[in-house]
């Protein structure tokens, strides 16, 4: 496998991808290997300019994708530290989200996590609210 580098790739489909890239010779035919490719889109509004980032293929669980050179219009190596930092931060956040998010107990059931707002059971919340209500009723009777 060839040397890895960060690149911006323009595909014949019109998509622009940012990825860690390596080029490999496969029986004389080069192939382009993308690692965790993402798309970046600049958004301009009254609050400034923002970058919207998402996975190139959103529903895939794969990290590596292979492209044939005939699907690429141009590829430009990027050494921009800001773009590389945005890319690596996005991958780290996605990794953390996938490891700590929804825990599935059954194929049709989702177990809530504390991140989703689950902090107590219905029974314990009911007991706490009843205790608060009882205190308020006692306070009004005394006055």
Contact 6/87 with Cβ under 8 angstroms? yes
pLDDT tens digits, one per residue of 57-103: 988 888 999 998 999 999 999 999 999 999 999 988 887 776 665 55
Q: Supply the pTM of this predicted model.
A: 0.63
If residue 44 lies in a helix (H) or strand (E), which one and from where to where? strand 29-45
- Look up the CATH number of domain 5-100: 2.30.30.100
Whether the per-residue pLDDT at 105 is higher than 50: the answer is no
CA-angle at 89, arms to 113 and 41, nearest 5°: 105
């Amino acid at each position: 496998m060839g040397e890895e580098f960060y690149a911006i790739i323009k595909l014949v489909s019109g998509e622009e991808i940012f990825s860690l890239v390596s080029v490999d010779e496969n029986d004389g035919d080069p192939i382009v290997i993308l690692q965790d490719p993402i798309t970046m889109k600049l958004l301009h509004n009254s609050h400034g300019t923002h970058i919207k980032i998402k996975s190139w293929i959103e529903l895939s669980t794969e990290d590596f994708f292979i492209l044939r050179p005939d699907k690429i219009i141009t590829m430009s190596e990027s050494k921009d530290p800001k773009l590389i930092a945005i890319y690596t931060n996005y991958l780290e956040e996605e990794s953390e989200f996938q490891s700590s998010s929804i825990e599935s107990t059954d194929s049709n059931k989702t177990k809530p996590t504390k991140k989703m707002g689950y902090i107590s059971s219905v029974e314990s919340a009911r007991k706490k609210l009843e205790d608060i209500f009882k205190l308020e009723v006692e306070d009004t009777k005394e006055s």
